[in-house]
Amino acid sequence: MMIPMVRKGLGAGRGKGYKNIQGRDPKIHSDSARGRKQPQKLPYIPKLNKKLPDQAKFYDSLWIQNKGVFYRGTSGGKGLSMGVLGAGTYVSWKEGMAKAFAKISAMKNQGEPKVEEIKLSKDLRLLDAQSKTFNDIKRKLGVNPFEKVGDPLFARVLTEEVKMLGYDGVISDDVADGIVIFEK
**Does residue 27 register a pLDDT over 70?**
no
For residue 5, give the H/E element and its range.
strand 5-7
Span 33-53, pLDDT tens digits: 556 555 444 444 444 556 777
**Sequence-ordered list of residues with C-beta below 8 angstroms from that of 165, at least 6 positions apart, any chain:** 52, 127, 133
Find residue 119's DSSP bridge partners. Answer: 69
The Cα 95–Cα 73 span in angstroms is 9
- Of 17 and 137, more confident: 137
Span 74-111, pLDDT tens digits: 877 666 667 889 898 889 999 999 898 888 888 877 77
Determine contact, residues 98/92, Cβ cutoff 8 Å. Answer: yes
The residue-averaged pLDDT of 109-120 equals 85
- Of 114 and 11, more confident: 114
- Of 122 and 23, more confident: 122
Task: Tell me what percent of the residues of the chain surpass a pLDDT of 70.
Answer: 70
Give the pTM. Answer: 0.68
Mean pLDDT for the chain overall:
78
Determine contact, residues 105/78, Cβ cutoff 8 Å. Answer: yes
The residue-averaged pLDDT of 18-37 equals 54
**Sequence-ordered list of residues with C-beta below 8 angstroms from that of 120, at least 6 positions apart, any chain:** 63, 68, 69, 70, 91, 179, 181
